Amino acid sequence: MKRLSAVIAALLLVGGLGCTNMTKTQQGALSGAALGAGAGAAISAISGGNAGIGAGIGGALGGIAGGLIGHSQETRGY
């Protein structure tokens, strides 16, 4: 579990560093993917599944959702 926490922390750190010159859509997709991967891995590990598969599925779904939310904010002018 300590290794999983370190991976999640590293993903969040890397995701936060690369967002300076990105559009809101790109920021949302990157942030959503990082958070989704962490949440997917954690949920999968807790439920006894494969944390890698959970991270992949969570990252993909989080990236899509974050991109859609970022695009919505970008088109509304937030």
pLDDT in tens, 36-68: 999 999 999 999 999 999 999 999 999 999 999
Range of the domain at 21: 2-76
For residue 15, what pLDDT is reported? 59
Q: Residue 51 is encoded by which pair of tokens?
A: 């944390």
pTM for this structure?
Answer: 0.72
- Number of structural domains in the chain: 1
Q: How many Å separate Cα 65 from the centre of its chain? A: 10
Kindly state the tokens that stand for 64: 């899509």
Break the chain down into helix, strand, coil percent, rounded to 5. Answer: 85, 0, 15
